[in-house]
Structure 1
């Protein structure tokens, strides 16, 4: 297994400075700071998965997860917003080309949305009437467009698939047609501004509807044939990995401060702390290396079911190890790590909030 790079290898010092210098203020704002956003626009990070034909970067999955890990190492909330928004931007490979061209004509184009099926789309002349409300749309305050998942209805009757299940389809809406609702009141990921939104009686043309399936891809490229489930799992796991590496980095000064200022911490205690940090770092890096290898293998052979299952498994293992390594080290960090005004506490809160995502909770063999 080759040596794994630190996430900082992909980041310029100026980028990290901008991202971290405004992270605390972003928390106060409840959304990313304008300076952070400008950097995102300059680097086109919201377009990491957007089709190249529309001006997007159309990144490969191995390149994407390393970039997103590095961004989450710089700051968890910023990395998460970029991941969720560019992940929604992946839908550009499935959109009606006329709609996609309109959307991406804006250099600040940004998608946000929720995967929950908590809306309805009722068939009408040439389109649909959409109603519903959705929770937890990360980056919604910066979005130009919102995606929604809807149960398809014909009058009051549910439209069914061939197997008798409810037909569910996604739609892309203009941000101006969506009402935002305050809803993100959690201890971490505060700057993601992951608020809720609702739509009432909105008519949309049928061209606003799309289907997430390799056979329905409008852009013929490997990125849009790769399964959405493993893409989502891998990108979310990369975020937790980046946050965990950030936390272990911050343990170095935290341990030094504790050793210098707490009388009860003797040389033996310092050795215990440093050994714990060394072991946690090694374990985390091993999990990162195995994860990146699994992603690379599946990207090169995306029809291999076993390789895709490996991505799912290693994503969950990486998320688990990220949480456990941080929790092993946290008690050694002192009260500074328990203060909500400190960087190390923000990283701890962000990781444990992001770690609640359902895709990363259970490990299936």
Structure 2
């Protein structure tokens, strides 16, 4: 399996990593990092070509997202989530999609939590709510959010008797951000919270995420959201883990100079790195093959391939955790120094890895 570095120019990696310490202090991506993202169109990975997006094939995008997470966890995460929101362009009505998405500085942030309400009114909805964990919100042009649909005081129900929940897209000017991201890692994601109060949203800013509701007739917008989310998040966790293992190399070489370690202990450290590096890269290969197979198979008959994406996404996340956690004790105190790169990568890994979607081996 190719190393994630194979998908990025060395000068891109330098820009991303050189700005990473300052980005952590800013608690959002650095202007140099953003300039590169805009130049390459990375926030538009999944935006339809009809609206000046890249509309990348899923396997290509997943590999690039893994590579960006390898370059820097926060940047990879923000690109993944904001590009993921761009996928909604395939479900927006063409009129509003043309208006909102045709901008070189497009960035969509948001939340999948249903912590707001949309009350039906003439021509649209009145939105109220508060949402957390909006990665990339500080540079977003638009914000998306899920809302429980209300008709007056009554909650609108689906045919199954459950509350009807639909996503909306707002202009960033209609959203108030507030600081809420206080975690040990992914500090440059700017994953703060936002609130919306009594904002009118026209009905064409409401959409439905369902293959049958797709407006753009392309395979990318027929691909199930669950496996899309699983694959992109697993790719991020994988990329950060590969970065950590890369940094273990020089850290372990330094440990070999420690006269207090026996030859047996030194051999154990070296062999453990080789074994776990091979394990992670083999698991990455299985994962990328599963994503490719699900993309190449007829979408009307790819149930087994999609199930394999779910399985290998979870396997990759769990394997990455095993590798990082088993290697960490051999890294020495430098890995616990918050000013070192290896510490930053470790913190990013254990923060990103807390995402609930890939916690368990099975989605059930």
TM over 0.5: yes
Pairing 1:186–2:162 present: no
Cα separation, 1, equivalents of 2:22 and 2:255: 27
Query: What does residue 362 of structure 2 align with?
Result: 364
Pairing 1:36-115 to 2, within 5 Å after superposition: 36-115=33-112
Aligned equivalent of 1:321: 319
Counterpart residue number, 2:226: 229
Among 195, 199, 214, the alignment partner of 1:198 is 195
The match for 2:169 among 158, 167, 172 is 172
Q: Is the contact between residue 291 and residue 318 of structure 1 (CA under 8 Å) also seen in structure 2?
A: yes
SS at match of 2:115: strand
Cα offset, 1:86, TM superposition: 0.0
Alignment partner of 1:333 out of 309, 327, 331? 331
Residue 15 of structure 1 corresponds to 12
1:147 to 144, 149, 155: 144
Are the aligned partners of 1:151 and 1:167 in contact in 2 as well (CA < 8 Å)?
yes
Shift of 1:160: 1.0
Looking at structure 2, the residues matched to 133 and 152 of structure 1 have their Cα atoms a distance apart, in angstroms, of 15
The Cα offsets for residues 72-118 of structure 1, whole Å up to 9 and x where unpaired, read as: 00000000000000000100111121111111232101100000000
Backbone CA RMSD of aligned residues: 0.9
Distance in 2 between the 1:203 and 1:37 partners?
31
Q: How far has the Cα of 1:268 moved from its partner?
A: 2.6
Q: Distance in 2 between matches of 1:263 and 1:188?
A: 33
Q: CA deviation at 1:265?
A: 2.1
Structure 2 unaligned regions, length at least 5: none
CA distance in 2, matches of 1:37, 1:264: 46
Helix, strand or coil: the match of 1:31?
A: coil
Moved more, 264-273 or 151-160: 264-273
Whole-angstrom CA distance in 1 between matches of 2:252 and 2:129? 49
Distance of 2:102 and 2:84 partners within structure 1: 19
Q: Which residue of 1 aligns with 2:130?
A: 133
Match of residue 205 from structure 2: 208
What are the superposed Cα offsets for residues 133-183 of structure 1, whole Å, 9 maximum, x if unpaired? 000011111100000100000000011112211111000000000000110
Alignment-derived partner of residue 348 in structure 2: 350
Tell me how far apart the structure 2 counterparts of residues 51 and 96 of structure 1 sit (CA, whole Å): 12
Q: What is the rounded CA distance, in whole Å, between the counterparts of 1:327 and 1:121 in structure 2?
A: 43
Corresponding position of 2:287: 291
Name the counterpart of 1:281. 277
Is residue 253 from structure 1 mapped to residue 250 from structure 2 by the alignment?
Answer: yes
Distance 2:362 2:166 in 1: 27
The aligned length equals 361
- Say whether 1:300 aligns with 2:322: no
Name the SS for the 1:218 alignment partner.
Answer: coil
Q: Name the SS for the 1:135 alignment partner.
A: strand
Q: Distance in 2 between matches of 1:25 and 1:324?
A: 30
For normalisation by structure 1, the TM-score amounts to: 0.98
**Structure 2 CA distance, aligned partners of 1:259 and 1:362?**
36
3-state DSSP of counterpart to 1:131: strand
The superposition leaves residues 171-207 of structure 1 with CA deviations (integer Å, 9 ceiling, x where unpaired) of 0000000000110000000000100000000001101
Structure 1 segments, 4+ long, off by >4 Å, are: none
Give distance in 2, aligned partners of 1:78 and 1:162.
40
For the 8 Å contact 1:70–1:242, the answer to whether it is kept is yes
Deviations 1:193-247 (A, max 9, x none): 1000000000011011000000111111000000000000000000010001001
Q: Is the partner of 2:64 in helix, strand or coil?
A: helix
Q: Secondary structure at the match of 2:133?
A: coil
Counterparts of 2:170 and 2:327, CA distance in 1: 44
Q: Is contact 1:259-1:266 (8 Å) kept?
A: no
How far, CA to CA, are the matches of 1:104 and 1:167 in structure 2?
26
Partner of residue 159 from structure 1, selected from 152, 156, 159: 156
